[in-house]
């Protein structure tokens, strides 16, 4: 089976894990701090600190926790996203307000979001679907004009840019995922890029159960048992094992990004104009694709999925609409017909760095042979 998504690791990650295991300490450590610094440098984040966490979901959760939302405060977000975005909102006691996405690029539809704003709306969570941050400047201007904070769900967008700067290097709170399938992986992991040092300090406390330890004095680390608990927190810290894997993956990131972009460009070139397909308008000079998602029109998706499966090609639907899940039914203040239609059309082809050129050509040929 050609997998739709898979990580690529090598002897470097194995060595890193061995070094980590030999330390006989796997919690928050200097390796995590090193990864935070390396990520900030890679992103060109300047004075925006990076806080590493054990998942992208934890990054979203802590970003929202930093906004001091009250129960019942509302967060606008696209219904078309991974459920982690929704769970993070409810985890802090706020209400997710599902919005439409635009039909062509599957990004948050701000005209629709506008209609769902109420006096309780406090934040917006754009999701950079498939790696595309869209018009980030326009998004931030829109939010600023409405007094909303912005939590970017950039789980898909590590490495992508807007306006010559990487996602994360600008904006408000930006959340990345480094789970096993993402553009780089820590095994599991995530990162929150904060707008300032104060927010990073709060996020740093919250990821460690709210425990504040006295600063190290001369002569060694502070005692592990001397701490005060100063705020609600969670056990969201990243393990040094994951950080060591992440540091190796970060070294490989430019090669990974180039490979993903090459595959996506080839898909675009070969599938443009195929009847019954609508491709997403992507600029792969600035977008690093996490997914290669297309729309299969005329009710032909199920047939294409079966055909590809029979040829040993796995595909995925990213994602079912969240407002239709049992837990979230009733949250939408108005119907979401565009999202519901799109959820019947979207299909993701294999996209990862273990794909060979021959496999890419085989996938293209099979898509074309089915759609004629």
Residues engaged in binding ligand PLP (CB under 6 A): 55-57, 81-82, 84-85, 127, 153, 155-156, 177, 179, 190
d(CA 179, CA 215): 32
CA 292/CA 294 separation, integer angstroms? 7
- Tell me the closest approach of the beta carbon of residue 159 to ligand PLP, in angstroms: 15
165-166 and 121-124 as β-strands: parallel, antiparallel, unpaired? unpaired
CB of 255 to ligand PLP, least distance (A): 22
State the catalytic residue, choosing from 23, 182, 252, 262: 182
- Look up residue 175 and give its two tokens: 């959340």
**Strand residue runs (E) in the chain:** 50-53, 74-78, 95-99, 121-124, 149-153, 161-162, 165-166, 173-177, 190-193, 211-212, 228-229, 277-279, 292-296, 346-349
Shorter beta-carbon distance to ligand PLP: residue 237 or 300:
237
**Shortest Å distance, C-beta 291 to ligand PLP:** 9
Q: Within a 10 A sphere around the Cβ of 251, how many other Cβ atoms?
A: 13
Which residue's C-beta sits nearest to ligand PLP?
Answer: 56
Nearest to ligand PLP of 54, 366 (CB atom): 54
Smallest distance from ligand PLP to CB 185, Å = 9
Residue 17 or 83: which CB sits closer to ligand PLP? 83
Contact between 339 and 100 under an 8 Å Cβ cutoff? The reply is yes
d(CA 236, CA 168): 20
Render 240-282 in DSSP notation, one character per residue.
HHHHHHHHHHHHHHHHHHHHHHHHHHHHHHHHTT-TTEEE---
Instruction: Find out whether 247 and 276 touch, Cβ atoms under 8 Å.
Output: no
Running DSSP on this structure, what letter comes out for residue 158?
A: T
CB of 177 to ligand PLP, least distance (A): 3
Cα–Cα distance, 58 to 22 (Å, whole number): 27
Cβ of residue 318: shortest distance to ligand PLP, in angstroms?
7
262 catalytic residue (yes or no): no
Nearer Cβ to ligand PLP (191/264): 191
Question: Which C-beta is closer to ligand PLP: that of 83 or that of 278?
Answer: 83
Compute the C-alpha angle 137/83/288, nearest 5°: 45
Residue 331's CB is within 10 A of a number of other CB atoms, namely 18
Residue with Cβ nearer ligand PLP (199 or 293): 293
Active-site residue set? 182
């Amino acid at each position: 089976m050609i997998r739709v998504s898979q990580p690529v690791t090598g002897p470097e990650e194995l060595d890193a894990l061995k070094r980590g295991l030999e330390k006989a300490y796997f919690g928050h450590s200097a390796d995590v701090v090193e990864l935070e610094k390396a990520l900030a440098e890679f992103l060109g984040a300047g004075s925006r600190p990076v806080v590493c966490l054990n998942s992208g979901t934890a990054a979203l959760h802590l970003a929202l926790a930093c906004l001091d939302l009250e129960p019942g405060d509302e967060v606008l977000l696209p219904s078309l996203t991974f459920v982690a975005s929704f769970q993070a909102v409810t985890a802090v006691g706020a209400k997710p307000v599902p919005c439409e996405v635009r039909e062509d690029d599957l990004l948050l539809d701000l005209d629709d979001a506008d209609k769902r704003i109420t006096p309780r709306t406090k934040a917006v969570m754009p999701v950079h679907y498939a790696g595309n941050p869209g018009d980030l400047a326009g998004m931030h201007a829109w939010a600023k004009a409405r007094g909303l904070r912005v939590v970017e769900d950039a789980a898909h967008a590590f490495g992508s840019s807007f306006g010559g700067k990487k996602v994360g290097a600008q904006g408000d709170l930006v959340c990345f995922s480094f789970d096993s399938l993402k553009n780089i992986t820590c095994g599991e992991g995530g990162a929150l890029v904060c707008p300032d040092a104060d927010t990073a300090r709060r996020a740093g406390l919250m990821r460690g159960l709210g425990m504040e330890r006295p600063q190290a004095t001369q002569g060694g680390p502070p005692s592990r048992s001397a701490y005060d608990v100063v705020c609600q927190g969670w056990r969201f810290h990243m393990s040094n094992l994951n950080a060591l894997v992440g540091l190796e993956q970060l070294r490989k990131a430019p090669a990974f990004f180039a490979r993903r972009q090459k595959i996506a460009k080839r898909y675009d070139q070969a599938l443009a104009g195929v009847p019954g397909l609508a491709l997403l308008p992507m600029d792969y000079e600035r977008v690093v694709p996490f997914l290669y998602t297309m729309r299969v029109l005329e009710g032909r998706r199920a047939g294409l999925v079966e055909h590809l499966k029979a040829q040993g090609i796995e595909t995925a639907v990213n994602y079912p609409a969240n407002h239709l899940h049992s837990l979230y039914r009733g949250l939408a203040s108005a119907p979401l017909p565009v999202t519901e239609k799109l959820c019947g059309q979207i299909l993701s082809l294999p996209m990862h760095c273990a794909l060979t050129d021959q496999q890419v050509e085989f996938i293209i040929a099979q898509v074309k042979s089915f759609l004629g």
